[in-house]
Amino acid sequence: MNFDLKTLDLATAASEKCDLLLVLIPEGFKPGPDGLSLIIAQALKSGDLTLKAGKQLPLYQVPAVAARRVLLVGVGDGSARALRQAVLAASGAFKAPQTKRLVLCFAGAVAPGAVSAVVQAVAEASYVYTTTKPKAEARALGRCVVGVPHIAEAREAFDNGVALIAGIEFAREWGNRPANHATPNLLADAAKALAKWPRIQCKVYGSADVARLGMGAFMAVARGSEEPLRFIELRYSGGAKNKAPVVLVGKGITFDTGGISIKPSAEMDEMKFDMCGAASVLGTFRALAELQPAINVVGLIPACENMPDGRAVKPGDVVTSMSGQTIEILNTDAEGRLVLCDSLTYAARFKPAAVVDIATLTGACVIALGGVRSGLFANNDGLASALQDAGDAAQDPCWRMPLDDDYADGLKSNFADMGNVAGRAGGAITAAKFLQKFVGDTPWAHLDIAGTAWRGGAAKGSTGRPVGLLVHYLLGQAAVHAAMPAPPATTSATKVARVAKPAAKRAQRAKISS
């Protein structure tokens, strides 16, 4: 889908030819002398329209309006959150197959964050999974124009929003693919394809390389599968050579049966989503490819299946991790931490400014936080608050959880340096404590996205989270670097430092399709 930014007010929006004109009307709306303003004022007066976020009034073939259909939509206080809510509520109208061209316009001042919230909500609602579904059902919406009072003020937010959409949709598509269409090798191919963009490089390691590195914990998980493991290393080099990178580590279990500690069969299909951490790293790189910010980022993805088999690792087996620490694998279903721990050890070689791992790690995190906020664990307060702020700004929120050392007590083992599980209590925290044993003093954060990366039930599908959070965080870091040596008071991603010219970017975009 193509997005365009245009200078429009209610009077000029009336002459936009399209299938649907969505008019976003905030509380305190001030009518102008134009026709649409008059209609809105009348509708408000009669009570046929109220301006609570999501309230709607549809109009058809309005005289002197070029759009075939008009939908008046209340957007409450006009905040990013209310706008998202309103656009999602109105999405039935633009998901209809006859809506190919959509124009959105604001009937009032445009708050910061509004433009990006609106384009993201349109993309989120109109996304259609395509990989293994017939093309006939593909997204009908081809073009979306966002009208604002002043293009110049909205340009940066708009460009960031559109780049973020590319990243989120990339993550959603890979998350949604069934495990036989998203094997470790196919994930590696997706990463290699990203390396066609400027400043992105990709290396892929196989079983022999991983054995040479001594990643005994990762190898133990992959043993039971016929699909060969892959260790994927992506690099985005937009900053100065000597600038320490941020390392992102994404759990890439392309299917989690539980292994010998096998899972119950109900809803086991959803364990194809157990690579959503990996998908979020790929999606973040897809957005970096568009944005070309002044920062260095490394992406690491340990990818394999977790399967039961005659060769599979067994409960009680002890393996030696890359760090040298031994692990008693008491439950083969606690496999995420095993592939992550070796990746965290590997991450140290980049002398990172920060390491952030992203994983669908524990059912316990779903119980704790549900599907609203991802679990955030960190050994560093600055990193924790930067991630929490980025999540809030991106409407992709997380919530910090504790890491008291007492939570690690249950990981003690009589036969190894640690077990891979503690009791049922505090399961999301004990998993994080396990990971913490592999990060030393490096500023590190862990995002448990088990509740937020996908939805079950009728709306089953990947959400693309937390690509929004990660991209906001990274753009914030780029802004901090650009402002050196006098760092700004805030690290949130309001200002973005770019190293590539927009024209060059667009030329590049034209050459490479998605």
**Site residues for ligand BES per CB under 6 A:** 256, 274, 331, 333-336, 360-364, 366, 421, 427, 450
Q: Based on CB atoms, which residue is closest to Mn ion, 89 or 421?
A: 421
Which of Mn ion, Zn ion, ligand BES, none interacts with 238 (beta carbon under 5 to 8 A by kind)? none
Q: Based on CB atoms, which residue is closest to Zn ion, 74 or 336?
A: 336
Among the listed residues 438, 410, 217, 423, the one whose alpha carbon sits nearest the alpha carbon of residue 317: 217
Residue ranges that bind Mn ion, judged by CB under 5 A: 256, 333, 335
String marking each residue 43-72 x if it binds Zn ion according to CB under 5 A: ------------------------------
The residue whose two tokens read 């805030």 is 490
CB of 243 to Zn ion, least distance (A): 33
Strand partners, 416: none
CB of 468 to ligand BES, least distance (A): 20
Residues contacting residue 264 through CB under 8 Å, at least 6 positions apart: none
| Span from 57-65, 92-100, 314-322, 332-340 in contact with Zn ion (CB under 5 A) | 332-340
Residues contacting residue 266 through CB under 8 Å, at least 6 positions apart: none
CB of 304 to Zn ion, least distance (A): 11
CB of 461 to ligand BES, least distance (A): 14
| Beta strands 398-400 and 374-378, pairing class | parallel
Q: Based on CB atoms, which residue is closest to ligand BES, 337 or 472?
A: 337
Establish whether 68 is a catalytic residue: no
Find the Cα–Cα–Cα–Cα dihedral 263, 267, 269, 274, rounded to 10°: -70
How far apart (Å, rounded) are the C-alpha atoms in residues 318 and 447? 27
Q: Based on CB atoms, which residue is closest to ligand BES, 157 or 319?
A: 319
Catalytic residue among 223, 337, 437, 465: 337
Which of Mn ion, Zn ion, ligand BES, none interacts with 427 (beta carbon under 5 to 8 A by kind)? ligand BES
Which of Zn ion, ligand BES, Mn ion, none interacts with 79 (beta carbon under 5 to 8 A by kind)? none
CB of 104 to Zn ion, least distance (A): 39
Which pair of structure tokens corresponds to residue 354?
């920060």
DSSP 78-104: --HHHHHHHHHHTHHHHHSTT--EEEE
Establish whether 437 is a catalytic residue: no
| Span from 178-186, 193-201, 330-338, 490-498 in contact with Zn ion (CB under 5 A) | 330-338
| Span from 251-259, 293-301, 315-323, 348-356 in contact with Zn ion (CB under 5 A) | 251-259
Which of ligand BES, Zn ion, Mn ion, none interacts with 227 (beta carbon under 5 to 8 A by kind)? none
198 phi/psi in degrees, rounded to 5: -60, 145
Q: Based on CB atoms, which residue is closest to Mn ion, 278 or 387?
A: 278
- Rounded to the nearest 10 degrees, the angle between the axes of helix 151-176 and helix 114-126 is 30
Residue 274 makes contact with Zn ion by CB under 5 A: yes
Binders of Zn ion: how many residues, by CB under 5 A?
4
Among the listed residues 373, 211, 236, the one whose alpha carbon sits nearest the alpha carbon of residue 298: 236
How far apart (Å, rounded) are the C-alpha atoms in residues 433 and 143? 47
Compute CA distances 111 → 8, 75, 79, 385, 510, whole Å. Answer: 16, 12, 7, 24, 31
CB of 335 to Zn ion, least distance (A): 6
Q: Contacting Zn ion (CB under 5 A), which of 336, 375, 391, 451?
A: 336
Q: Contacting Zn ion (CB under 5 A), which of 124, 169, 227, 256?
A: 256
Contact 344, 357 (CB under 8 A): yes
Residue 357 makes contact with Zn ion by CB under 5 A: no
Residue nearest to Zn ion (CB): 256
CB of 129 to ligand BES, least distance (A): 20
Catalytic residue among 68, 143, 263, 495: 263
CB of 456 to ligand BES, least distance (A): 9
Task: Classify burial at 264, counting beta carbons within 10 Å of its beta carbon; exposed 0-12, middle 13-18, buried 19 or more.
Answer: exposed
DSSP 194-215: HTTSTTEEEEEE-HHHHHHHT-
Residues contacting residue 56 through CB under 8 Å, at least 6 positions apart: 49, 71, 72, 73, 74, 89, 90
CB of 306 to Mn ion, least distance (A): 6
Q: Based on CB atoms, which residue is closest to Zn ion, 256 or 396?
A: 256
Which of ligand BES, Zn ion, Mn ion, none interacts with 91 (beta carbon under 5 to 8 A by kind)? none
Q: Based on CB atoms, which residue is closest to ligand BES, 182 or 421?
A: 421
Q: Based on CB atoms, which residue is closest to Mn ion, 99 or 374?
A: 374
Distinct helix (H) and strand (E) counts, the chain: 16, 20
CB of 200 to ligand BES, least distance (A): 28
CA 306 vs. chain centroid, Å, equals 24
For 385, other C-beta atoms within 10 Å of its C-beta total 14
Which pair of structure tokens corresponds to residue 71?
């939908």
Q: Based on CB atoms, which residue is closest to Mn ion, 68 or 263?
A: 263
The residue whose two tokens read 């890439």 is 252
Longest CA–CA span in the chain (Å) reads 80
Q: Based on CB atoms, which residue is closest to Zn ion, 159 or 333?
A: 333
Find the Cα–Cα–Cα–Cα dihedral 181, 182, 183, 187, rounded to 10°: 140
Please identify every residue annotated as catalytic: 263, 337
The residues binding Zn ion (CB under 5 A) are 253, 256, 274, 336
